[in-house]
Amino acid sequence: MQAGAGETYVHPCFETATRLARAIRNGRIGSQEAVEAHLERIARLNGPINALVAVDRAGALKAAKAADRALVKKGATLGALHGVPITIKEAFDVKGLHTTASHPPLKDNVATSDATLVARLRAAGAVILGKTNVPELCGDFQTDSPLFGTTKNPWDMRRTAGGSTGGGGVAVAARFTPLELGSDIGGSVRNPAHYNGIFSLKPTEWRVPGHGHVPDLPGVTRAVRYMGTFGPLARSIDDLELALRLIAGPDGHEAEAAPVPIGAVPKLKAGDLRIAVLESNPLVTVSNDTAKVVQATAKLLAKAGAKVKRASPDGFDWMQAWEDWCDLYQYETRALHPLSERERFFAMIDSPDPSARSAARAARLDMGAFFAVLDRRDQALRACETLLDDHDAWLMPVMPDAAFIRQGQRDPLVIDGKAYPYFFAGTSYNFLANLTGQPSIVLPCGFSKDGLPIGLQLTGKRWGEAKLLGVAKVLEKLLPPCPVPPNYKD
């Protein structure tokens, strides 16, 4: 299928959202054809990997037909995603579909309206194919749902898909969708991108509103007010930029959401860039495979002309920063629990597992300690912003290793033979951008010795998405195309 202007389109399932939108607007493919192709692929391949847990075939085809009619209607206004099929993380409200966040008490909860971001994507013309799997209340970096079962990695079905946007990461990688809407309070749009070989963007905290997203349960006081954010998973940086521009900005529901303009993405060259690189942090030593990918990517940038330097904030206390992130997360998730529930955590204060100690500290709901955490959070932000005064982005791992074989949460994560507490290890790299609220973009940068994708993240200054996207576009051009899992190439 020829697209003109130098572009050649293949099967619609293998196109990015941006290119597919352009082909639909130009009349070179119909929305119905694109949607039917994705629905056929989902029906044929989704079963074993369980990425999508709800498919709205009738609704998607109806919307696609309407999109095609609008194309021939004089004066019709076409949105940036007109007729493009997408998927949505199950934790977001999609009118008429269940929203459970894999939480059994919500198994019968049917959304009566769209979440703000879903409504914005629909208004841009997107056609919603269905919803993707999550762990219970989005609380894990694996995706094992008590309601919908386990999502498996398309590169190796024994391994984790990541989480909590695990179903979405798999759906994008397996070419079930070109674009997914996810959420991230501790790496949940970033680790699935890393584990599945795709791109993702965690925006600046409160760049994007979260109205209509669980785990703030329906009808319950909103407690999750810090560090969480919402962003896209896709197969190109152009798609991340497009999605961000559609979903960003306050919606009148949440006081924290700020009307900060994104601005134009600068057209940068490698020679313009100053990149700080962190190969491994003091919390968890990355695998040899991961270290090699960091080194190779740094060399790739340097060879292209970028100024690359190993760097981290002067005197930065990584353990204190991780504890502050974990404590703040625990404060938010425990805030509405009765004392009788919180008391069972008190005895864990001397646990060898740092996440258990954090649960014990936060369970007391000590307001003085809570404000001290917020104060130290400000200090961590200043340290990281100061580092970025002298660098355009900070390149580092997303996770300590490539996708691990699925396991229980009580078992340690083993990285190159060394065991670490599960939750601590799984958040040891992606926590920082949540603590500071800075934006972070994941790109697929290499592979492990077992042929599993390894992504790296570029972090920028708060509200600096435009510049960060510009940096990411430079790196994207130096890397091979977004990889396809071997068993999903046709």
Burial (CB < 10 A; 0-12, 13-18, 19+), residue 144, is buried
Tokens of 121: 């994507």
**CA angle, 320 as apex, 318 and 321 as ends, to 5°?**
65
Of the residues 188, 312, 358, 428, only one is catalytic, namely 188
Tell me how far apart the alpha carbons of residues 469 and 459 are, in angstroms, rounded to a whole number.
10
473 is catalytic: no
H-assigned helices in 388-446: 422-426, 431-436
For residue 346, the 8-state DSSP code is G
Q: Report the 3 state secondary structure along 204-217.
A: CCCCCCCCCECCCC
Output b/e per residue, 379-399; b: 16+ Cβ within 10 A.
ebbebbbebbeebbbbbbbbb
Partnered with residue 230 across adjacent β-strands are 183
Name which of 139, 48, 122 is nearest 80 in CA terms. Answer: 122
CA angle 434, 335, 411 (to 5 degrees): 65
Q: Which of 89, 131, 461, 467 is catalytic?
A: 89
Active-site residue identified among 31, 102, 145, 164: 164
Is 489 designated active site?
A: no
Site of tokens 């509405």: 336
C-alpha–C-alpha distance, residues 325 and 331, integer Å: 10
| AA letter at 59 | G
Cis peptide before 236 (omega within 30 of 0): no
- 164 among known catalytic residues: yes
**Interaxial angle between packed helices 318-334 and 367-387, expressed in degrees from 0 to 180 and rounded to the nearest 10:** 130
Are the C-beta atoms of residues 231 and 241 closer than 8 Å to each other? no
Supply 350's token pair: 């001397």
Half-sphere exposure of 314 (CA within 13 A, CB side): 4
Active site (catalytic) residues = 89, 164, 188
